[in-house]
Amino acid sequence: MSINIKSILKSSFFSILVTMVIIFILALLSYFTGIGEGVVSALVYAAVAAGALLGTIAVSKAAGSKVFIHSMLVCVIYLAVLVGVSVLINRGVSFNSHFFTMTAGVFCAGFLGCVIGK
């Protein structure tokens, strides 16, 4: 069986949508409650991991074979969108510990989603 581009794109969009909804909820909580910046920052990492996890679970269920490749392609597209948003907002990408933590978290969550989904 070949690589299913349609399911990869759908799952990538789903991942981004889930992350946006969670981060929007975090923004509302941060605004209306006294949640500290450190807590919100940690929860944003969790939101990114949750988005990657749910997207890779979705693509793993949709893909008949080559589940690992499908999941990692979802992670690559997801990270490309995150980097693109970072470039738009920050006018560049900082290759610091934050970037590498996000990258590692997305791929670890993607691998876990691959295992759970299959």
Question: Domains in the chain: how many in total?
Answer: 1
**Which segment of 37-41, 42-46, 67-71 scores lowest on mean pLDDT?**
37-41
What pLDDT is recorded for position 26? 92
- CB 75 within 8 Å of CB 107: yes
Provide CB contacts within 8 A for 97, sequence distance 6+. none
**pLDDT for residue 15 is more than 70:** yes
Separation in Å, CA 9 to CA 21, 42, 55, 89: 18, 27, 10, 23
Q: What residue numbers bound the domain in which 65 lies?
A: 5-117
Instruction: List pLDDT tens digits, range 55-109.
Output: 999 999 988 788 999 999 999 999 999 999 989 988 888 888 888 999 999 999 9
